[in-house]
Structure 1
Amino acid sequence: MLEIVRQPWPWYTSGAVIAFVMVLLLFFGKSFGFSSNLRTICSACGAGKRVQFFDFDWRAQKWNLLFLVGAIAGGWISATLLAGDEAVQVSQATIQDLRQLGFSAPDDLQPEEIFSLEALFTVRGFLLLLVGGFMIGFGSRYAGGCTSGHAISGLSNLQWPSLIAVIGFFIGGLISTFILLPLLF
């Protein structure tokens, strides 16, 4: 019987696949971004009848919805069928920083202090999700795209606004990591 060898994939595998996908998208004149899928789904469900932003030909974006389904299916396949038994390697400095903040990580890469039903039904957990979701949604709309769209598609097309957006994403990540996270936990 054929046995699947389960081992971590090298980091450069994803870079090669992303580059291949970008070449295909550029060849076919498409641009990549996941946040546009939300607009497409809302439009397909009829939101364009009430909100002008969603009133567009969503059928022209069917390929991007297929990409979304493929990304979800690929994530599931890699997590369930191709995942290795080796634990993810996390530096000792990161482990100490997380434990100082009160997280159980890296024992659990999705700490229960954030990613559990108990955390969701607290005032702090609910507000974190609500405010975080609003900020991501507002930021993606205000920036004209999400991190994947700007960092992968926009930068590969040498778009100046995407470079500014990516710099802003990194600054926001640094502020969140070193200022907001310690304040919230």
Structure 2
Amino acid sequence: MMNWIVEPWPWYVAGPLIALTMFLLLYIGKQFGMSSNLRTACAAVGGGRVADFFRFDWRAQRWNLIVVVGAVIGGFLASAYLSTNTVEINPELTQKLETQYNIKSAGEAYLPPELFGNEVLTKPFNLAILLIGGLFVGFGARYAGGCTSGHAISGLSNLQVPSLIAVIGFFIGGLVMIHFVYPILF
């Protein structure tokens, strides 16, 4: 009976639900995006005393902070109770991950411990990659005026040309990273 919530939903169900959510947000005059919540959170804890960028009425964005809290709680509940924490991937990719990148748990664990385990965080190189990557992601989201979810879901739903340009940039950046930068670093 619970299979409908445990299994991935097909595109023809999930897509219209996302579209309905976007329509409702547009109807009530709200915009969706996760990175804007960082600004709201900084304003809520007094960031406006340090920088003018954080000096605004953050209470008007409380609903968006609730979305983030819901996403965190929902992600935890789904991971802990509704998932086997495995993912089916192409056997050729599993073989490549095992032979080229020494990731033995590919296809067995949703978050392979070779990449996401606690022992990975004890290596200075990995910490540096995470910190530098986090700075790039944060700077990029701010410079682009939003994150991937904001531009790809909300911006494209509003037919905003800057969001289309940002999404194309995100896609190109991801391709360059995975095909050129990642093999050099790892």
Q: TM-score when scaled to structure 2? A: 0.90
* Counterpart residue type for residue 65 of structure 2: L
CA distances 1:15-59 after superposition (whole Å, capped 9, x unpaired): 232112101101111111000111101100001111111111100
Q: Which runs of 5+ in 2 are unaligned?
A: none
Q: Which position in structure 2 is the counterpart of 1:123?
A: 124
Give yes or no for the alignment of 1:172 onto 2:173: yes
Q: Which position in structure 1 is the counterpart of 2:39?
A: 39
Please, which moves more after superposition, 131-140 or 174-183? 174-183
Does the residue aligned with 1:73 lie in a helix, a strand or coil? helix
Cα 1:108–1:75 shift into 2, 3 Å:
same
User: Greater relative contact order: 1 or 2 (C-alpha under 8 angstroms, separation 6 or more)?
Assistant: 1
Give yes or no for the alignment of 1:89 onto 2:88: yes
Q: Which position in structure 2 is the counterpart of 1:148?
A: 149
Q: Which position in structure 2 is the counterpart of 1:18?
A: 18
Q: CA separation in 2, counterparts of 1:4 and 1:140?
A: 37
Please, which moves more after superposition, 72-81 or 59-68? 72-81
Q: Which runs of 5+ in 1 are unaligned?
A: none
Q: CA separation in 1, counterparts of 2:6 and 2:67?
A: 25
Give yes or no for the alignment of 1:159 onto 2:160: yes
Q: CA separation in 2, counterparts of 1:38 and 1:156?
A: 22
Q: TM-score when scaled to structure 1? A: 0.90
Structure (1/2) with the larger helix percentage: 2
Does the residue aligned with 2:116 lie in a helix, a strand or coil? coil
How many residues of Structure 1 are paired with residues of Structure 2 in the alignment? 182
CA distances 1:104-161 after superposition (whole Å, capped 9, x unpaired): 3222222223212221121210111111001000000100000000000000100010
* Counterpart residue type for residue 33 of structure 2: G
State, as a whole percentage, how many aligned pairs show the same letter.
50
